[in-house]
A and B are shown apart, each in its own frame.
Chain A
Amino acid sequence: MRKTESLAGVLDRCLARVQAGAATVEDCLRDYPELADQLGPLLRTARQAGDLLAPSGPTAAYRAASEARLLNRLRAAQVVERGERSRVIERPTRKRTFAWLGSPPAWKSAYALAGLALALALALIGSSIGVASAAAGSLPGDELYGVKRGLEELSLALSASSAGDAALLLDFAERRMAEAQALIDIGREDDVPAALAGYERELARLLAREDQDEDSLSRLEAAIERHERALNRVLERGAARARQAAQRALERSRQGREQIEQQRQSQRPENVPPGQLRRTPSPEGEESGLPPGRDPNRTPGPPPNVTRGPKDKDQDP
């Protein structure tokens, strides 16, 4: 046993020197002549395996693209943090983003109350930070997932601006997608449909915002394209139920992109009926209780399933 350990130590040292280019196999055998018979074949086998099997590293293109994707995600998280900080300052001049839905939106108030109650409960048990921190990494099906969602809704309810709402909702959608992927990664396929249903819900809330300018529409469109790539990966790798849920979410995301196109079209001056001003997120629109250009007979809800051909896209600027 002692001999094995000794040989093992010498083998390891020699391998390190050979790998670093500081010595050849023959140099090592000269340094340890008493072990040369055993050491030589092992070092040559290691060199053969290392030379033949050594993989190449990631390409520069992949490295750049992958890092960009990751950083986008990190920036989305930072937007949320900045939004939370700025809400303290901006609160007195709070803009009513969802004024057209009624004042205040019932679902938002309910979530705010639930979130506040949750935060109070957490504070009372004296471990809110730890619980919130643990909840942040929770997934659908976990005990703390409700806490995570409650805190998300609380942050949304306290959002002080339309831009803050949009950033939060986009971040929530990204989170749901990451949760779905994480669930697949760890083999919890049964919980994937819940995560993707959550994604569809966040997407619907994003698309229901009608005060979006071209920049925010472009950001949303780019996010949806990223999500579609992720959903296609779920389709490739997920089990049957996960694939079904991904298919539904993909269909919803396609509708979402069509809805974005519709919004763009409706914002173009040539599409505004004669005698009317171009649609803008004006105070008049908010006061009317409906977004300008929206059919007053239509209740807010999921967007219509409008199919458009490729030619429609070709006409886009």
Chain B
Amino acid sequence: MDDKTSAERSDAELIALVQRGESEAFGELYRRYLDPIFRYLRVRVSDVGLAEDLSEMVFLRAFESVGSYTERGHPFSAYLYRVARNLLVDHYRRREEVPLDQAPELAGAVDVAGEVGQRDQLRSVLAALQLLPQDHQEVIRLRVVLGLTTAEVASWMGRSEGAVRVLLHRALKSLREQLADAED
């Protein structure tokens, strides 16, 4: 038997352990992916507490369904991302709030931003971002705001790396145009 620690195991190895009943292996997956999942949710909702609650729900739901999880060439983080997106869709639908692509992103950040000028900039960028098509918004959030690698963004969004590069280029061009229009 190998004597790897949990931290040394791949996602697939950890998931196989969880599926064989070694539930503690899921703790390593949690430690591995809490940060990107929380930060993604934090970008999408206006309240830190809500982002925390949704993050927990993502992992609880993933734990509940890990028994039937099968890897299809994407990392486990991509699965968690899909769970998080579904939770967000559901959250906004239940609340009868704005659609997901017009969610009040980081409204909290607007409140806490220090200088008036910076706050205005933040509002402008948020307003411009929400005018973009949903896939443009998403690639900017993942690649630019969260700083995920192109490979990670590709697996999360279910696209090739080349497609993500092209999408990012178009998205940044559109964002720049929206910001320029707003300034005029």
Contact = CB atoms under 8 A, between A and B. Distances in A.
Taking residues whose C-beta sits less than 8 angstroms from the other chain, chain B's interface range is 35 or more
A181 B91 CA distance: 12
Contacts of A22: none
Contacts of B121: 48, 52
A77 B67 CA distance: 13
B57 interface: yes
A45 B170 CA distance: 12
A81 interface: yes
A49 B169 contact: no
Contacts of B144: 15, 46, 49-50
Contacts of A74: 23-24, 26-27, 63
A57 interface: yes
Interface stretch (B1-9, B72-80, B122-130): B122-130
Interface in A42-74: 42, 45-46, 48-50, 52-58, 62-63, 66-67, 69-71, 73-74
B39 A181 contact: no
B60 A181 contact: yes
Contact of B60 (A45, A73, A186): A73
A303 interface: no
Contact of A185 (B38, B55, B66, B90): B90
B162 A5 contact: yes
B172 A46 contact: yes
Given A42-B169, A42-B176, A52-B121, A70 B60 contact: yes
Interface stretch (A90-98, A131-139, A248-256, A258-266): A131-139
Given A66-B34, A181-B60, A137 B67 contact: yes
Contacts of A63: 34
A56 B52 CA distance: 12
Contacts, number: 159
A116 interface: no
Nearest to A184: B90
Contacts of B31: 67
A73 B35 contact: no
A141 interface: no
Contacts of A46: 140, 144, 172
Contact of A67 (B30, B129, B172, B175): B30
Contacts of A182: 60-61, 64-65
A59 to B, nearest CB: 8
Given A42-B172, A66-B34, A70-B27, A8 B165 contact: yes
B102 interface: no
A12 B149 CA distance: 9
A41 interface: yes
Contact of A57 (B35, B173, B175): B35
Nearest to A41: B176
B106 interface: yes
B43 A233 contact: no
Top 9 A-B pairs, shortest CB-CB distance = A8-B169, A55-B42, A74-B23, A8-B165, A136-B67, A45-B176, A58-B38, A77-B23, A137-B65
Given A42-B172, A181-B60, 13 more contacts: A11-B165, A48-B121, A52-B118, A52-B121, A55-B43, A55-B145, A58-B52, A74-B23, A74-B63, A78-B24, A81-B21, A178-B64, A185-B90
Interface of B: 19, 21, 23-24, 26-27, 30-31, 34-35, 38-39, 42-43, 52-53, 55-57, 59-61, 63-68, 83, 86-87, 90-91, 93-94, 105-106, 109, 113, 118, 121-122, 125-126, 129, 140-141, 143-147, 149-150, 162, 164-166, 168-169, 172-173, 175-176, 179
